[in-house]
Chains A and B, each alone.
Chain A
């Protein structure tokens, strides 16, 4: 097989209460056409997957706190292992909240400062386009990606914020109005290693002009290209 034909295997995790799982699955099919599977939260082996999508929704009804129960699902231990092995992990909305609760990304989520759920298009600034997920965007590019959440008010302490900024871990910022009050207008961030990204906006909802925007498509094509070219610190996937 030549490098171009290599198939990237994508997992879409399904927790009880996930509801953007179908949208993520469709987005993978439509944007990159790679093999994609739903993986139930009780799964104990993710070794065949190269990209793990942790979708949005209300895992376990978001009871207690968003993502607080899902982090104890058996599959999250496998997600941790995959992240350590350098596999790509993308958490969207509730998926981001779960990654925070799991400690795979720093910080925590609070209720929107309006105390109301908010669903609307937002403009994001791509503040780091040197990641596996964003290299097909221009630096500083403004993109349209919708949000839909009640708890997207990202918080971290000043020390952590300084570190995130220094390392270029802040990948997306809200441009113009900040819809939830997040620290430093943060909409999405990546781990130091550059293989685990969490974001509140929904790129899978922005892959078709008919639905309002296709600016999210390049996140999927970016990560496929990064994986195929073994770029952006994906050493572990080369051993496949």
Chain B
């Protein structure tokens, strides 16, 4: 063993070799950044371990060095925000001394090369972020993007990503209650796997990742450290390429059973008041948790690496500091609580070792085999990474699209045929094949299961519930990043309101291409402009999130996809509303205005094979009026069903409400100045279909008129068919059963 260690040490490059051979470049560091590090070390050359530590903390994944400039635009405060960005997750007040804790995070690159483990560890990581705050995780969501589902590699990725999410979430016992999935060639080779977790906490239990109290012990808990996931954060901060397969060792391996034990043990020590500060070992593992905890408290930390539980002999300091072995946590407490802490972890059968102490030096000092093997200023590591404002450039495609007439295609006369084709499109088709694999009911609080606009989870012991939705149409964002970004926020809010909840705040996952490409950076700038504006108008601040850049495949950047995860508060479970039509005779209203807007629509792609033009426009003031008036109508007991109009427009929304409600509808819609196919499949924003009893129809209509929301009575619920007339002409006459089987069978058929 000693020999192995010696060998490892011997094969490690010297500080001079790191400099002369520019080995830091392999770690994603530039020559200028290397010189800055030398400066931070007072002119001393960093050794291999030190440059490794600097490189991960200065990666985009950990430092946001390319994205901070745009993140600054987001509103991050509000009357309900208890904790904004900067900790494991954000926290919002939901009344009664309770709070919701949530965050979304990507695991795109790992999932591209090792889909099962990549997705599974994405789920594991976001759960740790939530319980590191001291919150009990109560729900998981995920937002996924894949290429064309006809492609075998895409099927493989889709199947295994779903299995990985299921394998982790089901085992740990947190329900996966919803999310969304889109399929588009743009994501071929670079799928997006964004996982979101929502937790509940009492205000006085909120933890922060602070290494407080000079001399206090630093505890390592969880499984032993192995050689897996080394430089995972760096891998996440570069483009996937032909050699990405070789990065499989950068993908960590998850053990949800272990995480379940670590979670229960950590929640128990927090509940017992035994913790001063806690943080998970996520990206960059021991490096980020130790440096960030010390930095946030303005202290230093000394780590004794020989004490770190190790999975195999001969691990070097470099390997231990950069390993991303999963399910590990770092926390600090006072010496008098050490025995009580150890007792809790003994009960759960988990390693709990003191691996260091808090110091007042402001330095991260690494001791291995009795020698100091690293000595770096904490502030330089965490707060002094150089920030970049990359050049941006309006892409040619954007300019060209201004000229595209999205009505140039011949009118589709077979509207019913088009509806069936859209229902069978994997983006719109039922995701039952997916969510049947997720335990979405464990914890017995899931009121609205996957398949409606937003999932709703009850807050036990109260009348309250949380509604949650993830949204982003990458095609809209591609066609017009600013409008598309705003729509992502607006649609998430609309989904949450349709379920009967007041939108509270968002977490965002910015999935973009390489910031080194001016066109991609322009997309990032514009999309975040749109999102920030929508968040301000809709009063839903950003309480945390994640940035995933370098999402590229052989054809270039993916569609820019800033996924929005929104959480809303249902004030009383009686307000919970679903998309399915409820009873024969109920009156159907269309809220909002319909324009000729096919740019970026599912209809445009499925029927005409293109994504072009400009996306639907968004009037945030109109959106706000819609949301406010719809929520008050729901809270006033006037609404029996509500469904947001999104991909596939009115026709698809009507079909979905019929299928979910297992009942037909008769729609007779008079609409001026639009071709029938455009009217039914346009994806104009700020539209919702709602139903109410015939007795309340006049009151509901009056309510929206008074609120200044366009409202059109378009039909009634009943029968076994969806019948649609537009301007007196019958265009759809389909059995709901037929619509349902088309919609439900599409994905299972493709996956056979």
Contacts and interface: CB of A to CB of B under 8 A. Distances in A.
Interface string A187-226: 0000000000000001011011011100000000000000
Contacts of A118: 436-437
A96 interface: no
A40 B349 CA distance: 13
Interface stretch (A57-65, A71-79, A97-105, A230-238): A57-65
Given A26-B460, A62-B171, A148-B442, 17 more contacts: A16-B257, A17-B261, A19-B173, A23-B443, A27-B444, A56-B442, A58-B260, A63-B257, A118-B437, A119-B436, A120-B436, A146-B441, A148-B439, A205-B441, A210-B573, A211-B446, A211-B447
B458 interface: yes
Contacts of A120: 436
Interface in A41-77: 56-58, 60-63
Contacts of A117: 166-167, 170, 437-439
Given A16-B261, A17-B257, A20-B173, A26 B444 contact: yes
Most buried by B among A40, A117, A208: A117
B749 to A, nearest CB: 15
A121 B588 CA distance: 29
Given A16-B348, A210-B447, A58 B442 contact: no
B170 A58 contact: yes
A116 interface: yes
Nearest to A17: B257
A22 interface: yes
Given A19-B442, A27-B444, A58 B171 contact: yes
A16 B260 CA distance: 8
A-B residue pairs, 5 tightest by C-beta: A19-B173, A61-B257, A58-B171, A148-B439, A23-B444
Interface string B443-469: 111110100000000101000000000
A3 to B, nearest CB: 31
A189 to B, nearest CB: 23
Most buried by B among A40, A62, A202, A211: A211
B27 interface: no
B176 to A, nearest CB: 9
A211 B443 CA distance: 11
Interface of B: 163, 166-167, 170-173, 255-258, 260-261, 347-349, 435-447, 449, 458, 460, 573
18 contacts: A17-B257, A19-B260, A23-B442, A23-B443, A26-B460, A58-B171, A60-B257, A116-B437, A118-B437, A119-B436, A119-B437, A146-B441, A148-B170, A148-B441, A150-B170, A210-B447, A211-B441, A211-B447
Nearest to B447: A210
Contacts of B445: 211
A20 B347 CA distance: 20
Nearest to B136: A22
B455 to A, nearest CB: 13
Contact of B173 (A57, A150, A207, A208): A57
Contact of B444 (A16, A63, A204): A204
B444 A61 contact: no
Interface of B is mostly: mixed
Most buried by B among A20, A27, A119: A119
B531 to A, nearest CB: 33
Contacts of B436: 116, 118-120
Nearest to A22: B443
Contacts of B437: 116-119
Given A58-B257, A60-B257, A119-B436, A19 B444 contact: no
Interface of A: 16-17, 19-20, 22-23, 26-27, 40, 56-58, 60-63, 116-120, 146, 148, 150, 202, 204-205, 207-208, 210-212
A19 B170 CA distance: 9
Contact of A17 (B171, B441, B443, B444): B171
Nearest to A21: B173
A208 B446 CA distance: 11
A143 B15 CA distance: 71
A207 B444 CA distance: 9
A202 B460 contact: no
A148 B442 CA distance: 8
A58 B446 CA distance: 20
Most buried by A among B167, B171, B438: B171
A4 B364 CA distance: 66
Most buried by A among B260, B261, B436, B441: B441
Given A17-B171, A19-B172, A20-B173, A61 B442 contact: no
A56 B435 CA distance: 19
Contacts of A16: 257, 260-261, 348-349
A195 to B, nearest CB: 26
B257 A211 contact: no
A98 to B, nearest CB: 15
Contacts of B348: 16
B483 to A, nearest CB: 37
A150 B171 CA distance: 10
A161 to B, nearest CB: 28
Contacts of A205: 441-442, 444
A16 B171 CA distance: 11
Contacts of A61: 171, 255-258
Contacts of A26: 444, 460
Contacts of A116: 163, 436-437
Nearest to A18: B173
Contacts of A208: 444
Contacts of A146: 441
B189 to A, nearest CB: 25
A212 B450 CA distance: 13
A17 B438 CA distance: 17
A210 B458 contact: yes
Contacts of B172: 19
A20 B167 CA distance: 16
Contacts of B573: 210
A211 B348 CA distance: 32
A52 B261 CA distance: 23
Contact of A119 (B260, B439, B447, B460): B439
A40 B348 CA distance: 10
Nearest to B450: A119
Contacts of B460: 26
Contacts of A210: 447, 458, 573
Nearest to B257: A61
Contacts of B170: 58, 117, 119, 148, 150
Nearest to B172: A19
A23 B163 CA distance: 24
Nearest to B465: A210
A177 to B, nearest CB: 12
A120 B442 CA distance: 11
B444 A119 contact: no
A178 B655 CA distance: 28
A127 B67 CA distance: 62
B256 A202 contact: no
B473 to A, nearest CB: 28
Contacts of A148: 170, 439, 441-442
Contacts of A63: 257
Most buried by A among B167, B171, B439: B439
Contacts of B256: 58, 61
Nearest to A60: B257
Nearest to B433: A116
Contacts of A19: 171-173, 260, 442
Given A58-B171, A117-B437, A148-B170, A20 B442 contact: yes
A195 B438 CA distance: 32
A63 B460 CA distance: 31
B276 to A, nearest CB: 27
A148 B328 CA distance: 28
Most buried by A among B257, B347, B447: B257
Given A16-B349, A27-B444, A119 B173 contact: no
A162 B173 CA distance: 36
